[in-house]
Amino acid sequence: MSEEMFNRLLERVDPFIKRRDTFFRKAISPAERLLITLRFLATGESYSSLHFQFRVGISTISGIVNSTCQALWECLKDEFIPHPIEQLWMDTADKFYEICNFPNCCGAVDGKHVQIIKPQNTGSVYYNYKK
C-alpha cells in the first residue's frame, strides 16, 4: 500500500478510531491503530507477533483490530460493496455464464491455503498451485 493510499484511508477512518489521552496514559494514535490492523489483515500474523513488533499488549491489539475493522467496514461498505439489486445479480450471472459457461452463478470465493503435511505415497494429490 502506498503512503498516499494509507493517508487517504486514515483520513476516512480517523474519526472512528481516534481515542483520547488520559491522565494515566497516552492513547494509541489512529495511524498506529490502522497500521496494526492492516499488518494483521495483510500477513495473518498472530497477536503475539504483533505484540512484539508494535510493543502493544496482546489484548490491546485484539481490541484495536476488532474496532478498526468495524470502522473500516462502516466507512467503506457503501462505496465498495453495492447494495444487491436484481439487475446486478442478473448481470453477474450472465457474465459468469459468458466467461465460464457456468449458469446461474452470482459470485465466487477464492480458496484459503492451509498448509498440511501430506500423507505418504500420495504423489501430487495434495499439491496445489499455491505450493
Which amino acid appears at position 4 of this protein?
A: E
- Residues 46-77 pLDDT 10s: 999 999 999 999 999 999 999 999 999 999 99
**Rounded CA separation 96/98 (Å):** 5
pLDDT over threshold 80, residue 114:
no
Higher pLDDT, residue 73 or 84: 73
Q: ∠ CA 125-128-131 to the nearest 5 degrees? A: 120
Tell whether the model's pLDDT for residue 131 goes beyond 70. no
Enumerate residues 6+ apart whose C-beta is below 8 A from 38.
1, 6
- At 95 the pLDDT is 92
Residues of the chain with pLDDT > 90, as a percent, come to 57
Check: CB of residue 30 under 8 Å from CB of residue 18: yes
